[in-house]
Amino acid sequence: MEYILITFGIICMVVGVLGCIVPMIPGPPIAYLGMLCFHFTELYTFSTLGLVTWGVVVALSVVLDYVIPIIGTKFFGGSKWGSWGCVIGTIVGLVAGPFGVIAGPFVGALVGELMGNKPFDEALKSAIGSFLGFLCGTLMKIAICGYFIYVLIAAIW
């Protein structure tokens, strides 16, 4: 049973890291599942506080992954139109597949700002903020999964 948990844990870690880059795959939650698999073996046990803390961080990362593009839109001068466009673009992007997840918030913020009668250059600036927010969310997920891999390697040694 231990070998099955270890193998499944490694697979979850690899898929988790890929999920940070490939849209539609929830990277940190899958990597966290891998950490839980390692926890239930005799070789790798983590503290309860550590597991709970990591679980909270993963839950926050899932929420922030959708919120950060909206914050980026606002930071770059976006209005409520751009924020709502970003939200709608994110939802539509989820349905549209991997490219849609990347382009959805950008296009949504751009269209929203244009519908709010902003000039194209200001609307584009807001949409760029949305895209930069998406990139920040991706980096956050990579950092979390990278930390999980680090913790696992440190536990093995």
Convert the pLDDT of each residue in 44-90 to its tens digit: 788 899 999 999 999 999 998 888 878 887 888 888 888 888 878 87
pTM of model > 0.75: yes
d(CA 155, CA 47): 12
d(CA 133, CA 64): 10
53 φ, ψ to 5°?
-60, -45
**Contact status, residue 35 vs residue 151, Cβ threshold 8 Å:** yes
How much of the chain, in percent, has pLDDT values that exceed 90? 38
d(CA 20, CA 7): 20
For the chain, the C-alpha Rg in angstroms (whole number) is: 18
What's the pLDDT score for residue 82?
A: 84
- Domains of the chain, residue spans: 2-156
pLDDT at residue 98 tops 80: no
